[in-house]
């Protein structure tokens, strides 16, 4: 009965012997726990350096914040990756009304710091506004600028004329419309 209440005494003695043997071995090799700790700290530091270096290179723009590119509609503005920039007809001058679900489909063109303009882009027209999420959105000629989530390569203009309110923008600061596209219902 004593073995049922307290467990198997032989198993307990065996585990005590293993712990005792391990303690004796470690006492003769005190450097092993320190080496393991140093290896763990070095691995954590390496992962931290890799994660920080990866994020800093991915957020660095490939070129100017806004550039000009020739398209089937004439000259239009593009972002630092060469993707088409769009205006939203329901926005007001320097005020974005595209957020939440809208901003997932039409991501605001944002910058960290001061925007840069390539040749052909008016520096006087290129400004920024602060969004509710505290990001800094590009504005050109008073028009908040957006990308289109379906445009993945330079030259694509999948959002052009969408719902009659989304249009590419020209270096003059005016929305560019395909022939036959209806005018935006709001805006300025």
Query: What pLDDT, in 10s, does the model give residues 95-126?
Result: 999 999 999 999 999 999 899 999 999 999 99
Q: Which residues contact 68 (CB under 8 A, 6 or more apart)?
A: 75, 76, 77, 78, 118, 119, 120, 121, 171
CA–CA distance, 29 with 67 (Å, rounded to integer): 64
Q: What is the mean pLDDT of the chain?
A: 81
- In the predicted model, is pLDDT for residue 167 greater than 80? yes
Averaged pLDDT for residues 76-96: 96
Cβ atoms 85, 79 nearer than 8 A: yes
The separation between CA 47 and the C-alpha centre of its own chain, rounded to angstroms, equals: 20
Comparing 25 with 1, the larger pLDDT belongs to 25
Matching residue, tokens 């600061």:
173
pLDDT score at 12? 62
pLDDT one-digit tens code per residue, 6-57: 556 665 666 677 667 767 766 666 666 666 766 666 667 666 655 554 433 3
């Amino acid at each position: 009965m004593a073995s049922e209440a307290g467990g198997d005494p032989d198993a307990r003695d065996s585990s005590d012997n293993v712990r005792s043997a391990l303690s004796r071995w470690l006492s003769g090799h005190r450097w092993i726990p320190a080496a393991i700790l140093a290896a763990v700290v070095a691995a954590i530091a390496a992962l931290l350096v890799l994660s920080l270096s990866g994020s800093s290179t991915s957020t660095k723009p490939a070129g100017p914040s806004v550039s000009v590119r020739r398209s089937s509609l004439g000259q239009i503005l593009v972002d630092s990756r060469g993707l088409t920039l769009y205006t939203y007809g329901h926005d007001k001058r320097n005020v974005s009304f595209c957020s939440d679900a809208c901003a997932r489909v039409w991501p605001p063109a944002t910058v960290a710091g001061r925007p840069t303009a390539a040749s052909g882009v008016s520096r006087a027209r290129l400004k920024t506004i602060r969004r509710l999420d505290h990001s800094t959105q590009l504005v050109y000629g008073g028009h908040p600028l957006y990308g289109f989530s379906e445009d993945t390569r330079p030259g694509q203009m999948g959002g052009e004329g969408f719902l009659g309110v989304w249009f590419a923008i020209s270096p003059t600061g005016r929305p560019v419309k395909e022939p036959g596209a209806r005018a935006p219902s709001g805006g300025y």
